């Protein structure tokens, strides 16, 4: 009887640890998405105002923010990972460009924002 109780407690504890790990990954991704959405909003304002200095400051932050949680997205949401990557790289590159193509960069940033919002919706289901 003692062995059975011990085994049940071990299985229960293992299950709780597994769920806690999943929750922390979900929280990490959710926090990362929110940070990136804040950054795309800042970038949009800088693009709209034509503030190239601010664009060069804000745009590259997206890369660092994404790298902090992209592995979890790739593992659990491959389709959205690919979609975000499609728009992230050109957005960051455009923000670093010597001459800003306002229309193209605004379009890329908008598509990136849409992809991030889609991931956010999927996480909150």
Per-residue pLDDT tens over the stretch 89-112: 999 999 999 999 999 999 999 999
Give the residue extent of every domain in the chain: 24-123
Residue 24 confidence (pLDDT): 65
Question: Given a cut of 80, is residue 18 above it in pLDDT?
Answer: no
Show Cβ contacts of residue 65 under 8 Å, excluding neighbours closer than 6 positions.
Answer: 32, 35, 36, 39
pTM: 0.80
Phi, psi at 22, each rounded to 5°: -65, -40
Mean per-residue pLDDT, 57-61? 97
The CATH number of domain 24-123, selected from 1.20.140, 2.60.40, 1.20.120, 1.10.150: 1.20.120
Residue 26 confidence (pLDDT): 85
- Give yes or no for a contact between 121 and 114, defined as CB atoms under 8 angstroms apart: no
Question: Given a cut of 70, is residue 17 above it in pLDDT?
Answer: no
CA dihedral 95, 97, 100, 103 (to 10 degrees): -60
């Amino acid at each position: 009887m003692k062995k059975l109780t011990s085994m049940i407690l071990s299985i229960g504890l293992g299950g709780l640890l597994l769920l806690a790990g999943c929750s922390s990954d979900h929280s990490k991704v959710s926090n990362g998405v929110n940070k990136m959405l804040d950054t795309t909003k800042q970038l949009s304002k800088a693009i709209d105002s034509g503030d190239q200095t601010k664009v060069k400051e804000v745009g590259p932050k997206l890369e660092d923010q994404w790298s902090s949680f992209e592995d979890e997205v790739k593992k659990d949401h491959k389709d959205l990972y690919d979609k975000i990557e499609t728009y992230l790289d050109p957005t960051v590159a455009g923000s670093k460009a010597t001459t800003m193509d306002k229309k193209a960069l605004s379009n890329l940033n908008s598509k990136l924002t849409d992809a991030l919002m889609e991931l956010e919706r999927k996480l909150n289901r």
